[in-house]
């Protein structure tokens, strides 16, 4: 296919073609059948896909978070989904200046003008469940104050209940869907507890303070479950950085830091910053990478974590028996792909996507800015086989978010990174695990 | 704020605590708590009930003091200013919640008797509306005694809501204030009024409590 010029990606390309074919067919067929009401699920007959999507408008901020959880904003699902779920209308409206003062007063005991030397009542950024203000402490320290919109916690609970019923109309009912929704729900509820986030900020600061990465410091005296104060990190987001026409070297520099940060987390295998979204990284003027937003950090169970890592070498070697075994364990396959056509479609798609995904680990360095690679990844993510039968271990939701988010960030940045060290990290962690067994 | 006013506020706030313990607390016990003489109190207040009423009146004074300390207050929108007065009062009431819940209806929320608090509250509202430059010209005709009274009644409704609010630090009450003020601003900044929107009807259907509604209508009739 002329879409994929022949080159070093030749291998990925062949697989991609099969993958794309399967993917496209599934996705378009599925969405069409939803719209026409010809889907075999009887409840769907009455509602067109649009109507169902339309109901997501009732979810506002929560819809955005759900979309982000399932990496919909990263192009992991067809555009029909992402368009509906990431529209601005789902964002929570800004908190007015009087309410900001009053929330601070209730949560921290005094009005901002008494607590801070300077407090900007105009938010510098809208967060999904609140907003962020810049302020200065009496000792001159610049801080970021994240304020939660009143009543958000209750809203999430009721929104998730609504989302659950909507999802159940879209996909076949089963324990799997409940497991996914519960995973997202628990994560979102945790995210509303800013004390929890403050504690995560502390732990990450401890782990990464001597690194090329900068993370905020928590200020517990000015924090509660709904107000979070931390040191301010100067810097610009990805888009603004790119607008300043940075040179290649500088792009590679920041890209490498992010890549290393990610693999250092794998190496530690403690907790992982699980919200790899451009809004959560800052390019600081002194050449460091600012990492913020510790509302969503994850510790994956050891078993899942190791199996997830094993996907990398097994795909690179196209070790099919090992891949199949992993897929069974991770809930991707339910039956033998050799005898079941539907399973085979899943299998082919996942294996090819997995291979493409593992490519950066193949050589000494990898150029995420290569447009061919972008095209490949985009082809897979956009055409993922959306069936009405969701699959895979629930931990895939956030591991995918982290990993895919990393790739998207690096592709957008256009960075070439040294990947040799990270291959060793993966190998070491896996062989340690073997030795422990 | 004058020194005498500060002392009066201190006496009134201490009195709310006394009142919760014993509705017939003596001026002597109050003076003792504040380490002043009963005469000092009697110089400022004629009787116990006037002290308690002053608690309410002084909330508006404190509110005014607060606005003067907000640097960008003059740039606040109508909704932000309305939010500010409601929330400032609610914040203050939250600090003396038990007292407010015991006395609000009798001292300021009475549908038949008007209070000094009511007068001060409406004055503050008038200032908010009259100083706002963005209000659509057509909406200016709505700025009359009826409007301020209707908003005052809405405030009673808010207090009732807050009374039953079991959410964390009454955050649902805050959310209600926010939504209600945004709606008000929508009405006054846009040309809804031009389209013949009838505020009386609007309030009738949106009042959080029925007694508010009937009062609003009575007020409308008496104004007419
Ligand atoms: N410590 C900080 N220093 C500088 N900017 C910050 C800081 N914390 C948050 N921000 C700004 O606020 C935005 C939203 O904050 P974030 O914690 O990511 O909220 P959310 O959890 O809703 O995503 C960030 O994208 C960033 O622009
Ligand atoms: Mg964020």
CA-nearest residue, atom 22 of ligand 1: A127
B202 with B137, same domain: the answer is no
Query: Is the Cβ atom of A295 under 6 angstroms away from ligand 1?
Result: yes
Out of B69, B80, B175, name the one closest to residue A97 (CB). Answer: B80
B182 with B195, same domain: the answer is no
Q: Which residue has the tokens 């990478």?
A: A289
Contact yes or no for A102 and B171 at CB 8 A: no
Query: Is the Cβ atom of A234 under 6 angstroms away from ligand 1?
Result: no
B122 with B146, same domain: the answer is yes
CA of A265 to the centre of ligand 1 (A): 21
Out of A101, A106, A151, name the one closest to residue B175 (CB). Answer: A151
pLDDT score of A24: 39
A86 to chain B, closest Cα gap in Å: 24
pLDDT score of A173: 57
Out of A96, A106, A113, name the one closest to residue B83 (CB). Answer: A96
B139 with B212, same domain: the answer is no
The total of structural domains in chain B comes to 2
Contact yes or no for B174 and A154 at CB 8 A: no
B92 with B202, same domain: the answer is no
- Provide CB contacts within 8 A for B11, sequence distance 6+: B30, B34, B41, B44, B45, B51, B54
CATH code of the domain in which B34 resides: 1.10.357.10
- Given a cut of 60, whether residue B205 has pLDDT beyond it is no
Contact yes or no for A98 and B80 at CB 8 A: yes
B109 with B204, same domain: the answer is no
pLDDT score of B112: 75
Q: What atom of ligand 1 comes closest to residue A233's alpha carbon? A: 3
B128 with B174, same domain: the answer is yes
A129 to chain B, closest Cα gap in Å: 14
Q: Is the model more confident about B121 or about A35?
A: B121
B22 with B79, same domain: the answer is yes
Of A177-181, A258-262, B82-86, B118-122, which gets the smallest average pLDDT?
A: A177-181
Mean pLDDT per 10-residue run, chain A (437 residues)? Answer: 42 42 41 44 40 54 66 51 49 80 95 95 83 96 94 79 73 72 88 95 91 94 97 95 96 96 91 90 95 93 94 92 94 88 84 89 93 84 63 85 91 95 91 75
What backbone phi and psi angles, to 5 degrees, belong to A131?
-150, 165
- Given a cut of 90, whether residue B208 has pLDDT beyond it is no
pLDDT score of A34: 44
| Predicted structure pTM score | 0.80
Summary mean pLDDT of chain B: 84
Query: Is the Cβ atom of A26 under 6 angstroms away from ligand 1?
Result: no
Which residues of A have a CB under 8 Å from any CB of B? 95-99, 101-103, 105-107, 111, 113, 121, 150-151, 153-154, 225-226
Q: What is the pLDDT of residues B11-58, one digit of tens each?
A: 999 999 999 999 999 999 999 999 999 999 999 999 999 999 999 999
Q: What atom of ligand 1 comes closest to residue A130's alpha carbon? A: 22
pLDDT score of A52: 52
A116 to chain B, closest Cα gap in Å: 13
Q: Which of A60, A61, A95, A99 to mutate to test the interface with B (most CBs of B within 10 A)?
A: A99
Domain of B211 in residue numbering reads as 191-224
Instruction: Among the bound ligands, name the one nearest to the CA of residue A214.
Output: 1
Q: Which of B65, B67, B83, B189 to mutate to test the interface with A (most CBs of A within 10 A)?
A: B83
B21 with B123, same domain: the answer is yes
Query: Is the Cβ atom of A216 under 6 angstroms away from ligand 1?
Result: yes
Q: Is A157 exposed, middle or buried (0-12, 13-18, 19+ CB in 10 A)?
A: middle
Contact yes or no for A113 and B69 at CB 8 A: yes
- Provide CB contacts within 8 A for A211, sequence distance 6+: A261, A264
Neighboring chain A residues of B171 at a CB cutoff of 8 Å:
106, 150-151, 226
B217 with B168, same domain: the answer is no
CB atoms within 10 A of CB A64: 23
Nearest CA in chain B to A118: B71
B62 with B27, same domain: the answer is yes
CA of A92 to the centre of ligand 2 (A): 14
B51 with B146, same domain: the answer is yes
CA of A280 to the centre of ligand 2 (A): 5
The SS3 assignment for B147 reads helix
């Amino acid at each position: 296919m002329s879409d994929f010029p022949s080159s070093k990606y030749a291998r990925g390309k062949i697989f991609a073609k099969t993958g794309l074919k399967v993917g496209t067919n599934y996705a378009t067929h599925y969405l069409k059948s939803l719209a026409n009401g010809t889907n075999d699920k009887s409840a769907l007959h009455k509602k067109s896909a649009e109507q169902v999507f339309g109901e997501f408008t009732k979810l506002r901020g929560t819809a955005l978070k759900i979309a982000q959880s399932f990496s919909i904003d990263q192009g992991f699902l067809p555009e029909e989904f992402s368009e509906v779920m990431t529209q601005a209308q789902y964002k929570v409206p800004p908190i007015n200046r009087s309410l900001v003062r009053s929330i601070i007063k209730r949560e921290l005991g005094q009005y901002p003008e008494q607590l801070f030397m300077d407090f900007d009542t105009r938010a510098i950024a809208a967060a999904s469940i609140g907003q962020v203000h810049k302020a200065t402490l009496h000792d001159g320290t610049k801080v970021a104050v994240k304020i939660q919109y009143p009543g958000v916690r209750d809203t999430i609970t009721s929104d998730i209940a609504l989302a659950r019923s909507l999802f159940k109309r879209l996909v076949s009912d089963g324990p799997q869907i409940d497991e996914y929704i519960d995973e997202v729900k628990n994560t979102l509820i945790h995210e509303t507890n800013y004390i929890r986030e403050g504690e995560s900020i502390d732990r990450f600061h401890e782990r990464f303070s001597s690194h090329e990465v900068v993370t905020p410091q928590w200020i517990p005296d000015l924090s509660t479950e709904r107000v979070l104060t931390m040191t301010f990190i100067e810097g610009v987001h990805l888009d603004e950085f790119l607008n300043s026409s940075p040179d290649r070297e500088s792009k590679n520099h920041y890209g490498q830091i992010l890549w290393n940060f990610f693999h250092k987390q794998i190496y530690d295998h403690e907790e992982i910053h699980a919200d790899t979204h451009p809004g959560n990284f800052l390019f600081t003027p002194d050449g460091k990478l600012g990492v913020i937003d510790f509302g969503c950090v994850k510790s994956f169970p050891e078993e899942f974590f190791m199996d997830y890592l094993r996907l990398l070498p097994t795909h690179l070697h196209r070790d099919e028996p090992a891949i199949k075994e992993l897929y069974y364990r991770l809930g991707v396959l339910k039956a033998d792909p050799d005898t079941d056509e539907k399973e085979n479609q899943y299998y082919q798609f996942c294996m090819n996507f997995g291979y493409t995904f593992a490519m950066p680990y193949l050589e000494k360095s990898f150029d995420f800015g290569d447009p061919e690679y972008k095209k490949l990844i985009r082809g897979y993510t956009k055409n993922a086989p959306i069936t009405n039968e969701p699959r895979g271990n629930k931990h895939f939701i956030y591991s995918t978010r982290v990993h895919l988010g990393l790739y998207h960030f690096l592709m957008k940045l256009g960075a070439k990174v040294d990947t040799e060290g990270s291959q060793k990290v993966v190998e070491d962690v896996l062989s340690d695990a073997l030795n422990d067994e | 704020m004058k020194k005498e006013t500060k002392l009066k506020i201190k006496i009134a706030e201490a009195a709310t605590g006394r009142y919760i313990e014993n509705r017939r607390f003596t001026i002597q016990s109050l003076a003792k708590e504040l380490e002043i003489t009963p005469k000092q109190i009697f110089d400022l207040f004629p009787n116990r009930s006037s002290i308690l009423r002053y608690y309410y009146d002084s909330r508006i004074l404190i509110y005014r003091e607060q606005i003067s300390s907000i640097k960008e207050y003059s740039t606040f929108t109508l909704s932000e200013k309305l939010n500010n007065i409601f929330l400032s009062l609610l914040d203050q009431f939250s600090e003396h919640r038990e007292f407010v819940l015991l006395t609000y209806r009798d001292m300021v929320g009475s549908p038949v008797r008007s209070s000094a608090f009511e007068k001060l509250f409406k004055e503050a509202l008038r200032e908010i509306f009259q100083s706002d430059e963005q209000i659509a010209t057509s909406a200016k005709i709505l700025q009359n005694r009826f409007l301020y009274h209707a908003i005052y009644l809405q405030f009673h409704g808010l207090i009732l809501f807050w009374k039953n609010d079991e959410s964390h630090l009454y955050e649902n009450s805050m959310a209600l204030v926010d939504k209600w003020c945004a709606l008000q601003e929508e009405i006054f900044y846009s040309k809804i009024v031009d389209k013949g929107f009838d505020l009386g009807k609007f309030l009738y259907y949106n009042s959080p409590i029925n007694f508010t509604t009937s009062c609003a209508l009575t007020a409308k009739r008496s104004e007419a």
